[in-house]
């Protein structure tokens, strides 16, 4: 599955020129027996299969021997929510080992024993963790130096500075009786900045009051 969509456009170009790197590994390479089994039925019963701790430990240790400074992440709906703050933290770090797959669960002893940090991309359940891992990687990679065509670390993008981004417009000036707000065409940069700030605050208040710390106030 990898690099998948990360292999095209800005992240793909950056991958090709070595601005970031990706090493995809198969857990099954460490599987047991003739069928290279990686999972087993859940202790105590129940649906689905559970990834074995011995197999996953061997895979993780091969990818990141003890002492490797990179955080070990496990994509999981019960994990810490992926936010722009976490993305920034990861992008500024030494990289990451990201575990993902299509299991009902991972043996809890492995999560504890190898210090896996569970990360969720949202309050919904995907059928597999690969897409979640790609979401995480994409968000991090675009913050790396030299990946974006322009500076992605500015404070105007959604979530940077705690606000959603202001609305954008471009030509034509008039489209289906809708015109571009006059202030954006007047050339007064201070007025444009004020308008954008006010619009960002309005949108955030309407759509994501939780970002303003007003989540419970209706
Ligand atoms: N039994 C798990 C639970 O209830 O928490 C869900 C397993 S899900 C069907 C299969 C895999 O998809 C998970 O192991 C995880 O890697 C991935 N996954 C699903 N939803 C996710 C989410 N919101 N964020 C990150 N990974 C997710």
106 and 167 share one domain: no
166 and 84 share one domain: no
pLDDT of residue 216: 43
Percent residues over pLDDT 70 in the chain = 95
- Is residue 107 pLDDT above 90, yes or no? yes
Q: Who contacts 80 (Cβ-Cβ below 8 Å, separation ≥6)? A: 86, 117, 118, 119, 120
Residue 40 lies in a domain: yes
Q: What is the ipTM of this complex?
A: 0.98
> Annotation-wise, does 124 bind a ligand?
yes
**List of long-range contacts for 196-204, beta carbons under 8 Å, 24+ apart:** 196/156, 196/166, 197/166, 199/166, 199/167, 200/163, 200/164, 200/165, 200/166, 201/163, 203/163, 203/164, 203/165, 203/166, 203/167, 204/162, 204/163, 204/164
Ligand 1 pocket test, pick from 27, 56, 72, 126 with the greatest ligand atom count within 8 Å of Cβ, gives 126
120 and 181 share one domain: no
pLDDT digits (tens, 9 = 90+) for 158-198: 888 899 999 999 999 999 999 999 999 999 999 999 999 99
33 and 91 share one domain: yes
**For 59-63, 152-156, 161-165, 200-204, which range has the lowest pLDDT when averaged over its residues?**
152-156
pLDDT of residue 149: 74
- What distance in angstroms lies between residue 134's CA and the mean position of ligand 1's atoms? 14
Contact predicate 42/50, CB 8 Å = yes
- Is residue 218 pLDDT above 50, yes or no? no
pLDDT of residue 200: 97
* Ligand 1: nearest atom to the Cα of 124: 23
* Ligand 1: nearest atom to the Cα of 78: 5
CATH code, domain with 200: 1.10.1270.20
Is pTM beyond 0.90 here? yes
CATH code, domain with 57: 3.40.1280.10
Residue 86 lies in a domain: yes
Contact predicate 129/100, CB 8 Å = yes
127 and 182 share one domain: no
Structural domains counted in the chain: 2
**Of 141, 176, 200, which closes a domain?**
141
Contact predicate 13/149, CB 8 Å = no
- What distance in angstroms lies between residue 206's CA and the mean position of ligand 1's atoms? 30
Strand order of the sheet with strand 105-106? 39-40, 50-51, 105-106
Q: Which residue's C-alpha comes closest to atom 3 of ligand 1?
A: 77
Q: Which domain holds residue 128?
A: 4-141
**Of 88, 109, 141, which closes a domain?**
141
- What distance in angstroms lies between residue 104's CA and the mean position of ligand 1's atoms? 7
127 and 172 share one domain: no
Residue 29 tokens read as 């390479």
Residue 119 lies in a domain: yes
- Is residue 153 pLDDT above 60, yes or no? no
φ, ψ of residue 29 in degrees (nearest 5): -60, -20
103 and 195 share one domain: no
* Ligand 1: nearest atom to the Cα of 100: 16
Residue 213 lies in a domain: yes
The band of 104, judged by pLDDT with boundaries at 50, 70 and 90, is very high
108 and 165 share one domain: no
pLDDT digits (tens, 9 = 90+) for 119-150: 999 999 999 999 999 999 999 999 999 898 76
Residue 84 lies in a domain: yes
89 and 165 share one domain: no
- Is residue 154 pLDDT above 60, yes or no? no
- What distance in angstroms lies between residue 51's CA and the mean position of ligand 1's atoms? 13
Residue 147 lies in a domain: no
Residue 102 lies in a domain: yes
φ, ψ of residue 48 in degrees (nearest 5): 75, 180
Reference 157, options 169, 166, 144; nearest CA is: 166
178 and 98 share one domain: no
Mean pLDDT for 19-26 is 97
Q: Which residue's C-alpha comes closest to atom 12 of ligand 1?
A: 128
Residue 149 lies in a domain: no
Tabulate helix, strand, coil % of the chain (nearest 5). 40, 15, 45
């Amino acid at each position: 599955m990898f690099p998948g969509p990360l292999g095209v456009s800005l992240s793909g170009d950056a991958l090709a020129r070595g601005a970031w790197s990706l090493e995809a590994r198969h857990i099954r390479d460490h599987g047991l027996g003739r069928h290279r089994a990686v999972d087993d039925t859940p202790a105590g019963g129940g649906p689905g299969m559970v990834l074995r701790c011995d197999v996953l430990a061997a895979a993780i240790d091969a990818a990141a021997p003890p002492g490797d400074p990179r955080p070990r992440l496990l994509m999981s709906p019960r994990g810490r929510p992926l936010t722009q703050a976490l993305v920034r933290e990861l992008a500024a770090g030494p990289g990451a080992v990201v575990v993902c797959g299509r299991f009902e669960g991972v043996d809890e002893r492995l999560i504890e024993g190898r210090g896996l940090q569970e990360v969720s991309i949202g309050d919904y359940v995907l059928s597999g963790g690969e897409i979640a891992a790609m979401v995480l990687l994409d968000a991090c990679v675009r913050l790396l130096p030299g990946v974006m065509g322009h500076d992605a670390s500015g404070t105007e993008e959604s979530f940077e500075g705690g606000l959603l981004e202001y609305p954008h417009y471009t030509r034509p000036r008039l489209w289906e009786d809708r015109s571009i707000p006059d202030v954006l065409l007047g050339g007064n940069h201070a007025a444009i900045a004020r308008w954008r700030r006010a619009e960002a605050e309005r949108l955030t208040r309407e759509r994501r009051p939780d970002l303003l710390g007003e989540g419970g106030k209706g």
